[in-house]
Amino acid sequence: MRNREMYAEPYRIKMIEPIKIRDRETREKLIVDAGYNVFNLKAEDVYIDLLTDSGTTAMSANQWAGMMLGDESYAGCRNFFNLQDALKDIMGYQYVVPTHQGRAAENILMSMFVGEGQRVIGNMHFDTTEGHIRMRKAFPVNLVIDEGLDTASDHPFKGNINLEALEEELKNSTPAELPLVIITVTCNSNGGQPVAMDNIRAASSLAKKYKRPLFIDAARYAENCYFIKQRDPHYSNHSVKDIAREMFSYADGCTMSSKKDALVNIGGFLAFRDNEEWYERAVQIQICYEGFRTYGGLAGRDLEALARGLHEGTEEDYLEDRIGQVHYLGRLLTAEGIPIVLPVGGHGVFIDALQFLPHIPQSKLPGQTLAVELYRAGGIRAIELGTCAFGYIDQATGQEVYPQQELVRLAIPRRVYSDRHMRYVADTLIEIGRHKEAIKGMKIIYQTELMRHFTARFALL
Ligand SMILES: *Cc1c(COP(=O)(O)O)cnc(C)c1O
DSSP, residue by residue, 275-295 = -HHHHHHHHHHHHHHT-STTT
How open is the CA angle 211-268-227, to the nearest 5 degrees?
A: 70
Residue whose CB lies within 8 A of the most ligand 1 atoms, among 103, 193, 385, 409, for a mutation test: 103
What is the position in ligand 1's atom list of the atom closest to the CA of 103?
9
Query: Residue 395: its pLDDT value, please?
Result: 86
Task: For 141, list phi and psi in degrees, rounded to 5.
Answer: -120, 125
Name the 3-class secondary structure at 191. Answer: coil
Residue nearest to atom 2 of ligand 1 (CA): 257
Residue positions annotated with a catalytic role? 74, 126-127, 217, 219, 260, 453
- Given a contact cutoff of 8 angstroms between Cβ atoms, the answer to whether 42 and 57 are in contact is no
Query: Residue 393: its pLDDT value, please?
Result: 86
pLDDT per position as a tens digit, 366-398: 999 999 999 999 999 999 999 999 888 888 998
Compute the CA torsion angle 133, 135, 139, 141 (nearest 10 deg): 40
217 lines ligand 1 (CB under 6 A): yes
Domains in the chain: ranges and CATH: 4-53+315-460 (3.90.1150.10), 61-312 (3.40.640.10)
pLDDT over 90 (residue 271): yes
123 lines ligand 1 (CB under 6 A): no
- Given a contact cutoff of 8 angstroms between Cβ atoms, the answer to whether 279 and 272 are in contact is yes
Residue whose CB lies within 8 A of the most ligand 1 atoms, among 120, 125, 130, 188, for a mutation test: 188
Residue whose CB lies within 8 A of the most ligand 1 atoms, among 51, 100, 126, for a mutation test: 126
Please provide the size of the chain in residues: 461
pLDDT over 90 (residue 26): yes
pLDDT per position as a tens digit, 329-344: 999 999 999 999 999 9
107 lines ligand 1 (CB under 6 A): no
192 lines ligand 1 (CB under 6 A): no
Query: Residue 58: its pLDDT value, please?
Result: 98
100 lines ligand 1 (CB under 6 A): no
